[in-house]
Amino acid sequence: MRGPHNILRLIRTGATFERTGAMGVALDALEAPPRLRLAARILGWPFRWMGYKGNPALPPMTRAITALGPAYIKFGQILSTRADVVGTELADQLRMLQDRLPPFPTQIAKEMVATELGRPIDEIFLEFSEPVAAASIAQVHRARLRDTGREVAVKVLRPGIQAAFRRDIDAFHFAAGMIEGLSPSSRRLRPRDVISHFESVVAGELDLRLEASAASEFIENTRDDEGFSIPAPHWHLSSRRVLTSDWAEGVAMGDRDGLIAAGHDLPAVARRVIQLFLQHALRDGFFHADMHHGNLKVGADGSIIAYDFGIMGEIDEYTRRVYAEILMGFIKRDYRRVARVHFEAGYVPRDRDETAFARALRAVGEPIFGADASQISMANLLAYLFEVTERFGMPTRTELILLQRTMVVVEGVARSLDPQLNMWEAAKPVVSDYIKASLGPRAVAQDAVQVAQILGRYGPLLPKLVDRVLWEQVHGHATKSEKPQKYRWYAATAGGALVIGLGLGLLFG
């Protein structure tokens, strides 16, 4: 990490916010107290001249964020879905960050496509449009294939985006290190690990071959999901900097008036967005982790169309079960259950008081459930839960960051369609079905099959393993009186494992 360079970058960030007028907008959105406003002005004003000017035609916040670079734009995209956090006016300003950023010239895009695919562009496409969408990492063109006449979307990375992204992430790493150094208590939150996690996730967007692979896997997982579709990638017309996929026709999820004019049932669409996300996260452990308005459309038949798979989330089976248990505990207002799951999963240190933790969780959940449906917010829940877990010494779980962040983004999308959406009512059937499937007799049988398969795989090694363990116990540190007991115990354990494994293998394998 280059210290002086990153210090300058962070100072320039504050100076850019001051110069573009975004500082006041940000402080208003956060409802900052007077003393914080005064401190921000005093610290920001002397360096104002160092800030980027940005595009004067854009609103202040959007102007500052676009001037600062791709990592900041990603953050702005998240805020654009949180009208309840930053206000409706600012959320509307930030929404342009999703797919309406200034594009780079079409001629440059054509040259990149030709270079990446190794053929003149006229040999591949009959038509190649001007950009139809431009975001922080890439822009999209509508095209028609010469050999089939089929309409496709051609996504092209922005020139020099890798270097720009590295510069921003470098500064974030530096800031995280400074935070840990200046505030030892913050180490529990593992800020450097958090930045590394997001770096690895977003880095996937910089290689479009990985996005094509994610889309292909996502299509396989969701093939039977009614009312959900994904544009298929064209592998022979894709590379590291170019991705060609089917064209998805529909009304943009962010176009509320357009959806109403098309006759779509907005509350039903909002519920479906929430339920699809939870199905993919809990059932498959592989979910779209960038489900903002700019990456979703509604087809003419009411189906939800998702695209842009540069950021995907993945969680293992055990974590999915824990997450579902926590969600169900909150849905049923069973705070002891939520507390017990946290302790059993090791999320909260064992030396803390489980009863006190459950009582603190009640203080998190009850105000939310006592509110009107429009005020029930996953963002608020996570904010309150963060305060409680901080008090009880729970370290940051980097494997859950993307899941929680996406949950907040998806809620923001759904709420923009139906402000009265009750998140918990929408989530309950999906979570209930998952828990029944993952904790019932069928799940036990599936777990047994996996155990049998693992034992079967290591079957040839079991005799040597048992012989070595028994020899160490008989001839090693055990006393004479212990030898017979330990011998019988290990022999029974090893033999039982072998018999159970073979039996389960025959029954389920």
- DSSP string across 206-257: G-HHHHHHHHHHHHHHTTT-TTEE-PPB-GGG--SSEEEEE---SEETT-HH
Task: Identify the active-site residue in 290, 353, 372, 433.
Answer: 290
Q: Report the range out of 11-25, 130-144, 338-352, 386-400 with the highest average pLDDT.
A: 130-144
Residue 138: which H helix or E strand, with range?
Answer: strand 138-145
Residues 24-42 have a mean pLDDT of 67
- Any idea what DSSP says for residue 100? B
Q: How confident is residue 194, by pLDDT bands cut at 50, 70 and 90?
A: low
Asked if pLDDT for residue 452 goes beyond 50, the answer is yes
- Mean pLDDT (the chain) is 78
Position with higher pLDDT, 479 vs 207: 207
Place of tokens 């880095």: 203
SS3 at position 490: helix
Residue 327: which H helix or E strand, with range?
Answer: helix 317-331
pTM of the predicted protein model: 0.71
Tens digits of residue pLDDT in 117-165: 999 999 999 999 999 988 878 999 999 999 999 999 999 999 988 887 8
Burial bucket for residue 337 (CB in 10 Å: 0-12, 13-18, 19+): middle
**437, β-bridge pairs:** none
Q: Over the Cα atoms of the chain, what is R_g?
A: 27
Residues 335-349 have a mean pLDDT of 86
The bridge status of strand 228-229 relative to strand 304-306 is parallel
With CA atoms as reference, report the closest residue to 14 among 6, 23, 26. 23
* Buried/exposed code over 26-62 (b: 16+ C-beta within 10 A; e: otherwise): bbebeeeeeeeeeebeeebeebeeebbebeeebbbbb
Position with higher pLDDT, 257 vs 456: 257
Residues 369-373 have a mean pLDDT of 61
Least confident span in 14-28, 369-383, 462-476: 369-383
SS3 at position 433: helix
Residues 369-379 have a mean pLDDT of 61
pLDDT at residue 68, as a whole number? 85
Asked if pLDDT for residue 322 goes beyond 50, the answer is yes
Least confident span in 3-12, 64-73, 153-162, 371-380: 371-380
Least confident span in 216-230, 235-249, 455-469, 491-505: 491-505
pLDDT at residue 243, as a whole number? 97
Q: Report the range out of 78-92, 289-303, 424-438 with the highest average pLDDT.
A: 289-303
pLDDT at residue 490, as a whole number? 46
Tens digits of residue pLDDT in 460-503: 777 777 777 777 766 665 454 444 554 444 444 444 444 444 44
Asked if pLDDT for residue 250 goes beyond 90, the answer is yes
Written as one letter, the residue type at 303 is S
Q: How confident is residue 379, by pLDDT bands cut at 50, 70 and 90?
A: low
Q: How far is CA 32 from CA 27, 330, 439, in A?
A: 5, 30, 45
Residues 163-189 have a mean pLDDT of 70
Specify whether the backbone of 160 is left (phi greater than 0), alpha (psi in -120 to 50) or beta. left
% of the chain surpassing 90 pLDDT: 28
Query: 441-457 vs 423-439: helix axis angle to the nearest 10?
Result: 50
Q: Is 225 a known active-site residue?
A: no
**116, β-bridge pairs:** none
Asked if pLDDT for residue 508 goes beyond 60, the answer is no
With CA atoms as reference, report the closest residue to 401 among 170, 180, 197, 169. 197
Cα torsion 300, 304, 310, 316 to 10°: value is -160
Residues 441-459 have a mean pLDDT of 67
Least confident span in 254-268, 386-400, 417-431: 386-400
The three-point CA angle 322-323-328 to 5° equals: 100
pLDDT at residue 117, as a whole number? 95
